[in-house]
Amino acid sequence: MQVCILKFASMKLNAYQKTALITIAATFFLIFVGGLVRAAGAGLGCPDWPRCFGSWIPPTSADQLIGTKYDPSQFNAFQTWLEYVNRLIGVMIGLLIIATAIRSVSYIKSKPIIFYGSVFAVLLVGFQGWLGGVVVKSELEAWIITAHMVVAMALVCLLIWLAFLASADQIRLSIEAKKRTETLWIGLGILLILLVQLALGTQVREGIDIAMMAQPDQRSSWLDTVGAVDEVHRSFSWLVLVASAGLAYLVAKWKLPKAIVTLSRTLLGLVVAQIAFGVGLAYLSLPPALQVLHLLFANLAIATTFVLVLMTYDAESIFSGKRSSEAIAEADR
CATH number (domain holding residue 59): 1.20.810
Whether residue 311 is found in the same domain as residue 223: yes
* pLDDT tops 90 at residue 199: no
The closest alpha carbon to 279, from 307, 245, 243, 241, belongs to: 241
Residue 314: the pLDDT is 67
Residue 280: partners with Cβ closer than 8 Å, 6 or more residues away: 287, 290
Which pTM value belongs to this model? 0.84
Around Cβ 66, how many Cβ atoms within 10 Å?
A: 9
Domain end marker among 171, 202, 228: 171
pLDDT band at 9 (very low <50, low <70, confident <90, very high): very low
| Cβ–Cβ < 8 Å for 197, 302 | no
Pair 331, 189 in one domain = yes
pLDDT confidence of residue 317 = 44
Looking at the fold, whether 21 and 132 belong to one and the same domain comes out as: yes
Note the pLDDT of residue 73: 84
Instruction: Provide the domain count of the chain.
Output: 2
Task: Based on the fold, state whether residues 36 and 151 are members of the same structural domain.
Answer: yes
Instruction: List pLDDT tens digits, range 221-231.
Output: 888 888 888 88
Identify whether residues 17 and 118 lie together within a single domain: yes
Calpha distance 192→78 (Å, rounded): 38
Q: Which of 153, 171, 189 is the last residue of a domain?
A: 171
162 plus 199 within the same structural domain: no
Q: What is the pLDDT of residue 305?
A: 96
pLDDT for 28-52, tens place per residue? 998 899 888 878 877 788 888 888 8
Q: Are residues 183 and 123 in the same domain?
A: no
Asked which of 171, 188, 220 is the last residue of a domain, the reply is 171
The band of 144, judged by pLDDT with boundaries at 50, 70 and 90, is: confident
Burial of 149 (0-12, 13-18, 19+ CB in 10 A): buried
Do 91 and 137 fall within a single domain? Answer: yes
Claim to verify: residue 261 and residue 289 sit in the same structural domain: yes
Query: In terms of domains, do 72 and 159 share one?
Result: yes
240 and 141 fall within a common domain = no
Q: 59 with 80: CB under 8 angstroms?
A: yes
Range of the domain at 47: 1-171
More confident residue, 7 or 285: 285
Statement: residue 326 has pLDDT above 60: no
204 neighbors 229 (Cβ within 8 angstroms): yes
Question: How remote is the C-alpha of 135 from its chain's centroid?
Answer: 18
Are residues 225 and 139 part of one domain?
A: no
* Number of alpha carbons in the 13 Å side-chain half-sphere of residue 320: 8
Cα–Cα distance for residue pair 14/165, rounded to 1 Å = 13
How many other C-beta atoms can be found within 10 angstroms of the C-beta atom of residue 126? 13
